[in-house]
Amino acid sequence: MSTHSLIDACSASDVPADVRRETIARLLELAPLEGYNLCLLPDVRFLRSNRPLTRTPVLYDPGIVIVCQGRKRGYLGDELYLYDAQHYLAVSVPLPFSMETDASEREPLLAIYLRLDFNVAADLLLQLERHGDGVTAPPRGMASTRLDAPLAHSVLRFLQTMRDPLEAKMLGPALVREIYFRVFIGEQGGSLRAALNQHGHFGRIARALQRIHAGFAQTLSVETLAAEASMSVPTFHAHFRSVTNTSPIQYIKSTRLHQARLLMARNGLTAAAASAQVGYESPSQFSREFKRLFGGSPTEEVARMKRNFALPDAGPPSLYVSSH
């Protein structure tokens, strides 16, 4: 397994111990329940997990995951992405990968998830360019990056502010913007900014992913997606795989299956109803492909999710389907 995405995994942190302790204390207050806890800001969730999670397929919205206690490991093909108290994860395009976590009742996993606000990101990118901070790094869809002291202090101020409804409303958006800024100027911020700029082949694939998530229940052909990206089908396949580590057809199937799982777990839909709603014409084909991805039947997987997780509400509308 390649570990070049694993950034200084064993290095000592430069974040002061008192900052870490207070960050954990504040997050314990904000995430009293296992699962995803709502925040006063619509694009932020606080996660608490009291048990370990074995490798399971996930699909993240573009966003930032900051783990304050515990450890997560993501696997995209042969690459390992570590995000723990020393590293955060930034995702610029929705990527299907598998994830496992370390957690226990005594030391629960505590994390902050910030779903990316593209308007805020675009404004920051424009201002950075105006100040002469151009992007020279190659774009990447996912990056694990060392958590430095400035970002850790920004996160702590954000958590302190979230304890008071008025402060959260008045100051919270500016502190989220500050966290974005710290990520964009961080060690791998250039690659994230290059990805969000959506230039070149990466940008064409990113727009194809938007197209898939906006119309996953419709009939989507690789030929149409390639034509919309102004690429030949072989070229589109090659660049699509280089970004997502999978083929366009498999990506479309994965998106539909993740969405169907959410519909069954959150909304109580039957497998037949969920499969039809995400674009499957054959319930038996849906069941076979569902079991191939998640390792169990729809009934078994939904029961496992309800048994092991406190599922979040659907939340505000998003451009992308997310499985977490």
Residue 11 has pLDDT above 60, yes or no: no
How high is the pLDDT of residue 313? 53
Question: How much of the chain exceeds pLDDT 90, in percent?
Answer: 78
Span 236-288, pLDDT tens digits: 999 999 999 999 999 999 999 999 999 998 888 999 999 999 999 999 999 99
DSSP state of 63: E
d(CA 309, CA 174): 31
How high is the pLDDT of residue 210? 93
Residue 133 has pLDDT above 90, yes or no: no
Structure-token pair, residue 172: 């919270």
pTM: 0.88
How high is the pLDDT of residue 241? 95
Dihedral-angle region of residue 185 (phi above 0 means left; psi in -120 to 50 means alpha; beta otherwise): alpha
Structure-token pair, residue 190: 């250039």
Residue 185 has pLDDT above 60, yes or no: yes
Question: How much of the chain exceeds pLDDT 70, in percent?
Answer: 90
d(CA 263, CA 168): 31
How high is the pLDDT of residue 290? 96
Span 41-89, pLDDT tens digits: 999 999 999 989 888 899 988 999 999 999 999 999 889 999 999 999 9
DSSP state of 42: T
314 band by pLDDT with thresholds 50, 70 and 90? low
312 band by pLDDT with thresholds 50, 70 and 90? low
Burial annotation 254-293 (CB, 10 A radius, 16+ → b, else e): bbbbbbbbbbbbeeebebeebbbebbbeebeebbebbeeb
130: buried, middle or exposed (CB in 10 Å: 19+, 13-18, 0-12)?
Answer: exposed
Q: Single out the residue of 136, 124, 128, 110 nearest to residue 49, CA to CA.
A: 110
Residue 311 has pLDDT above 60, yes or no: no
Give the number of C-alpha atoms closer than 13 A to the C-alpha of residue 152, restricted to the C-beta side: 24
8 band by pLDDT with thresholds 50, 70 and 90? very low
Residue 10 has pLDDT above 50, yes or no: no
How high is the pLDDT of residue 292? 94
Beta bridge partners of 74: 81, 99
DSSP state of 158: H
**Tokens 């319930």, residue located:** 283
Write the CA distances from 287 to 59, 158, 249, 283, 300, integer angstroms.
19, 43, 17, 6, 11
Average pLDDT over residues 175-190: 96
Average pLDDT taken over every residue of the chain: 89
317 band by pLDDT with thresholds 50, 70 and 90? very low
| Cβ neighbours, 10 Å, residue 166 | 9
Structure-token pair, residue 65: 């995951």
> Which of 3-7, 17-21, 74-78 is modeled with the greatest confidence?
17-21
Domain 17-197 in CATH 2.60.120? yes
143 band by pLDDT with thresholds 50, 70 and 90? very high
Residue with the bigger pLDDT between 13 and 286: it is 286
Out of 105-114, 252-261, 279-288, 315-324, least confident range: 315-324
What residue segments make up the domains of the chain, in order of their start?
A: 17-197, 200-308
d(CA 108, CA 47): 10
Fold that domain 200-308 belongs to in CATH: Arc Repressor Mutant, subunit A (1.10.10)
1 band by pLDDT with thresholds 50, 70 and 90? low
Q: Single out the residue of 51, 166, 36 nearest to residue 112, CA to CA.
A: 36
d(CA 117, CA 177): 9
